[in-house]
């Protein structure tokens, strides 16, 4: 058994390290020692440097029934780390490389990975699994020997993790690790959606439903593309002030619309002379997706769904509005192909875009539950959780 201090000796052996384990839905995570197997073929063991809490972690942490619910579990899927060791057949990364693990696979070999039209890897497409993708087992065990489940192929609330090589993106060492960490999910989703899915052009009007990290990242990218009006829609008025820093030019609070006996879409249509060119839904509520669609412009208005609806609610849209040329599309990870686009974003966007402002808090792994409090209270965009190696 290797300890954390003598990593060279750990290669090929299990590592004992600290992890934040969720044992029951909605309960505080517990910092425990876990044992982590060495990487098998096509796997990479990563020493996590820092990680952040994303809404998808919180949604699954709250969920107490259904086929996706598995405890004990190590959450976390936005992270950056250093390769500790690699399994057989892994050639694209080596020990010491700086990497961003991502929830979306990118095998590079299947027809969809090869197509410029898709970022949905069909060979390794199951995102919501609790296991390693090739052999369907876990690499984590607790001190009683019980299996601890993976989450979104990353499980970064641990000092070390094992990730399939299809979920590992190599980046250059010149990037500050906390900024690089943000590229793992939320910020990339928002930027990618503007850049690849909507292809927002100069002078256009944009409406963003939900001003969390994804929504703010949409604003940042829309501003960079030269959008003339960027409307933020959120129930939390504090988000409006914060949003200005990210490029939000106008705000709509649905509570105020109610008082005026108008729907949100009526208000947005008035503000945009008939409807916004691009509407982004960043929460994951079917009713809000319909609001976004109804706020978009007849003829060519485009609605992009980025929020994950975990309830399976049906989406109700007017067929006649579709006939009039509006479109609605969904996008996992903002249409980003992890292995191509994340390094591109890292190189191109981190200098140009205002990424620092996404980091609202910072805690050590031992205080990870504070990160949950900040996000649940609507105080935080991204709370960096640092590992104390």
> Is 222 one of the binding residues for Zn ion (CB under 5 A)?
no
Query: x/- site string to Zn ion, residues 182 to 221, per CB under 5 A?
Result: ---x------------------------------------
Q: Which stretch binds Zn ion (CB under 5 A): 61-69, 108-116, 265-273, 355-363?
A: 108-116
Q: Which stretch binds Zn ion (CB under 5 A): 88-96, 100-108, 332-340, 375-383?
A: 100-108
Alpha carbon 184 to chain centroid, angstroms? 6
Nearer CB in complex with Zn ion: 70/123: 123
> Is 113 one of the binding residues for Zn ion (CB under 5 A)?
yes
> Is 121 one of the binding residues for Zn ion (CB under 5 A)?
yes
As measured in angstroms, the least distance from the Cβ of 261 to Zn ion is: 37
Distances (CA, A) of 383 to 102, 182, 325: 18, 10, 40
Question: Which position among 48, 107, 208, 219 is part of the footprint of Zn ion (CB under 5 A)?
Answer: 107
> Is 265 one of the binding residues for Zn ion (CB under 5 A)?
no
Q: How far apart are CA 182 and CA 80, in angstroms?
A: 9
Residue 35 phi, psi (nearest 5) = -110, 130
Q: How far apart are CA 369 and CA 229, in angstroms?
A: 37
Q: How far apart are CA 281 and CA 65, in angstroms?
A: 26
Q: How far apart are CA 157 and CA 17, in angstroms?
A: 11
Supply angle C-alpha 351, 353, 354, rounded to 5. 110
Nearer CB in complex with Zn ion: 240/332: 332
Nearer CB in complex with Zn ion: 39/284: 284
Q: How far apart are CA 163 and CA 36, in angstroms?
A: 11
> Is 306 one of the binding residues for Zn ion (CB under 5 A)?
no
Q: How far apart are CA 127 and CA 22, in angstroms?
A: 19
Nearer CB in complex with Zn ion: 113/180: 113
Nearer CB in complex with Zn ion: 20/121: 121
Strands ordered across the beta sheet of 140-142? 15-21, 30-36, 140-142, 147-148
Q: Which stretch binds Zn ion (CB under 5 A): 117-125, 221-229, 266-274, 301-309?
A: 117-125
Chain residues in the site for Zn ion (CB under 5 A): 54, 56, 107, 110, 113, 121, 123, 185
């Amino acid at each position: 058994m290797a300890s954390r201090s003598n990593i060279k000796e750990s290669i090929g052996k299990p590592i004992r390290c600290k992890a934040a384990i969720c044992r029951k839905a909605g309960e505080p995570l517990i910092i425990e020692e876990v044992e982590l197997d060495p990487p098998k073929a096509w796997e990479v063991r990563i020493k996590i440097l820092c990680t952040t809490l994303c809404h998808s972690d919180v949604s699954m942490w709250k969920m107490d029934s259904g086929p996706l619910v598995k405890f004990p579990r190590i959450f976390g899927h936005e992270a950056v780390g250093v390769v500790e060791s690699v399994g057989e057949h892994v050639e694209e990364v080596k020990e010491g490389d700086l990497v961003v693990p991502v929830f979306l696979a990118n095998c590079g070999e299947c027809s969809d990975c090869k197509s410029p039209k898709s970022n949905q890897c069909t060979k390794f497409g199951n995102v919501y699994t609790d296991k390693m993708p090739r052999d369907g087992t876990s690499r984590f065990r607790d001190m009683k020997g019980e299996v601890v489940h993976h989450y979104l192929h990353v499980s970064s609330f641990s000092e070390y993790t094992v990730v399939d090589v299809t979920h590992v993106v190599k980046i250059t060492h010149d990037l500050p690790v906390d900024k690089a960490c943000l590229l793992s999910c939320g910020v990339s989703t928002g930027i990618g959606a503007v850049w690849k899915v909507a292809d927002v052009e100069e002078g256009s009007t944009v409406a963003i439903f939900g001003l969390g990290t994804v929504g703010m990242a949409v604003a940042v990218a829309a501003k960079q593309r030269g959008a003339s009006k960027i409307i933020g829609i959120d129930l939390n008025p504090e988000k409006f002030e914060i949003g200005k820093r990210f490029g939000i030019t106008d705000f709509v609070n649905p509570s105020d619309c109610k008082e005026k006996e108008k729907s949100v879409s009526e208000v947005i249509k008035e503000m945009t002379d008939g409807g916004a060119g691009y509407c982004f839904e960043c929460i994951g509520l079917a009713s809000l997706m319909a609001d976004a669609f109804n706020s978009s412009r007849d003829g060519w208005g485009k609605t992009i769904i980025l929020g994950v609806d975990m309830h399976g609610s049906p989406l109700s849209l007017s067929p006649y509005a579709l006939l009039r040329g509006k479109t609605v599309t969904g996008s996992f990870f903002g249409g980003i192909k992890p292995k191509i686009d994340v390094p591109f974003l890292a190189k191109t966007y981190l200098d140009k875009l205002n990424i620092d402002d996404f980091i609202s808090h910072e805690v050590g792994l031992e205080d990870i539950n504070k990160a949950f409090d900040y996000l649940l209270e609507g105080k935080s965009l991204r709370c960096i959780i640092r590992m104390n190696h």
